[in-house]
Amino acid sequence: MKIENCSPADIPEIFRLYRIASAYQRSKETVVVWPEFEQELVETEIAENRQWKLMIDGEIACIWATTFSDEQIWGPRNADPAIYIHRIATNPDFRGKNFVFLIVTWAKSYAKDQGKAFVRLDTLGNNTGLITHYTNSGFSFLGMFDLKDTKGLPDHYHHAPACLFEIKL
């Protein structure tokens, strides 16, 4: 098992995993379902070494993206030195292996190496199962917040309050 940056060759698999995640969200009747993300977004993240993959036996088991700024979601807290995790999607062949805990372990080390003091993520709507999963993985749940400016954010941010989570290093 290893964590590495995605490459342009991974783009078809990244979008396959996003589509599977969206279908899974629909099947669970969650408040918010991921839209079809723009390919340019993923291409930029790959070019900036911010799209990640967890590899197991030569297969992509899980993907996610990172950023060092997330002002529209985190508002004044964005001034804190943090790494932000987005769009965790798991290959269904590997579901149930608690990759969030592995990502947290990796993210804490990565954040420290980058001089950051927090690992943060968000989800949308009152998804109690996901809130519990993230808190069980080490995050503090900061609450639900209505976003003031969602212009330019992916479509799903326009429909529900954001649940904010962080780990202080």
Q: What is the per-residue pLDDT for 123?
A: 92
Cβ pair 55, 4 in contact under 8 A? yes
Cβ pair 137, 108 in contact under 8 A? no
Could you list the residue range(s) of the whole structural domain that residue 11 is in? Answer: 2-168
pLDDT in tens, the chain (169 residues): 999 999 999 999 999 999 999 998 888 876 688 889 999 999 999 999 999 999 999 999 999 999 999 999 999 999 999 999 999 999 999 988 989 999 999 999 999 999 999 999 999 988 888 899 999 999 999 999 999 888 888 888 887 899 999 999 9
Run of H or E including 54: strand 51-56
Q: How far apart are CA 42 and CA 59, in angstroms?
A: 19
Q: What is the CATH number of the domain that holds 49?
A: 3.40.630.30
Domain count within the chain: 1
Whole-prediction pTM: 0.94
Q: What is the per-residue pLDDT for 150?
A: 87
Closest CA to 20 of 117, 102, 95: 95
Q: What is the per-residue pLDDT for 31?
A: 67
Distance set, CA 71 to CA 76, 82, 87, 92, 120 (Å): 7, 11, 17, 32, 12
Q: How far apart are CA 119 and CA 159, in angstroms?
A: 25
Distance set, CA 116 to CA 31, 104, 169 (Å): 32, 14, 8
SS3 of 142, please?
A: strand
SS3 of 80, please?
A: coil
Q: How far apart are CA 131 and CA 151, in angstroms?
A: 25
